[in-house]
Amino acid sequence: MIAIKHLSKVFDGIEKLHIPDLQIKENEIIGLVGNNGAGKTTLLRLVLNLLKPTSGQAFIQGKPVHETVEWKSITGSFLDEGFLIDFLTPEAYFYFIGEAYSISQKEVDAVLIDFVSFMDDEILRKKKCIANFSKGNRQKIGIIGAMLIRPKLLILDEPFNFLDPSSQLIMKKLLQTYNQTYNTTILFSSHNIQYVMDICSRVVVLDSGHILYDERNLTEKKKLELENYFKNRENIIL
């Protein structure tokens, strides 16, 4: 699904990301974990062609993302609030996305049923623009927009940020359901190592722009190793 070859990004003369090789198979759930500045968001932006790499390439379904657009039709993503259209209502935003993917309003309404518990009666029919919602609900709107097309590839940056505990649990279930029901390949970043270990079939740990761990089907021993790694990093920072 995703292939990364000799991918690097330099900012102000400093290399912030360098990944010689990373292969992501279809139907995997991959969690990117790392402390602030590890390169998680930079990697996601490069995969989505939102940043130009200093060297190397990212491929989706064998096609370089910076040379083709076909991958966009199967990809849903939400990285930050810049993906939202603040002056629209949530309904108008969802219908806008549907129109871009040739999905009728009736079909959009049917898909939104998947997110009833996630929205918790706080988003639809409120007669206000996205700009006037709380950060948590703005996060929900963006995530729903990314999942609305039932994509084959879903890319999210910190999807649990700003969500209350109940919504975080629903978010976990939604990711698992989309993976199992629609065979969606999911790549997301998170600071929450426990959620990543609970959800993901594979965990990739970034440190200073490099892959430190890349583990599938974590054993209890590996989970403990990852937890100890971040505990040790915390001690270094303190």
In a domain? residue 161: yes
Q: Which two tokens stand for residue 229?
A: 């790694």
Question: How many residues are listed for the chain in this entry?
Answer: 238
The answer to whether residue 235 scores a pLDDT higher than 80 is no
In a domain? residue 43: yes
Q: In terms of residue numbers, what domain contains 164?
A: 2-83+151-237
The CA dihedral of 102, 107, 108, 110, to the nearest 10 degrees, is -160
In a domain? residue 62: yes
Q: Write out pLDDT tens, residues 56-102.
A: 999 999 999 999 999 999 999 999 999 999 999 999 999 999 999 99
Distance CA 188, CA 236 (A): 26
Say which CATH number the domain at 190 has.
3.40.50.300
Q: Reduced to 3 DSSP states, what percent helix, strand and coil does the chain have, rounded to the nearest 5?
A: 40, 25, 30
Q: How many independent structural domains does the chain possess?
A: 1
Rg (CA), the chain: 18
Q: Write out pLDDT tens, residues 121-169.
A: 999 999 999 999 999 999 999 999 999 999 999 999 999 999 999 999 9
Distance CA 167, CA 73 (A): 28
First-to-last alpha carbon distance for the chain, in angstroms, is: 39
In a domain? residue 77: yes
In a domain? residue 28: yes
In a domain? residue 48: yes
In a domain? residue 90: no
In a domain? residue 104: no
Confidence of residue 170 (pLDDT cuts 50, 70, 90): very high
Distance CA 11, CA 208 (A): 13
Q: Alpha helices, DSSP H only, in the chain?
A: 40-47, 90-100, 105-112, 116-119, 135-147, 165-182, 193-199, 220-237
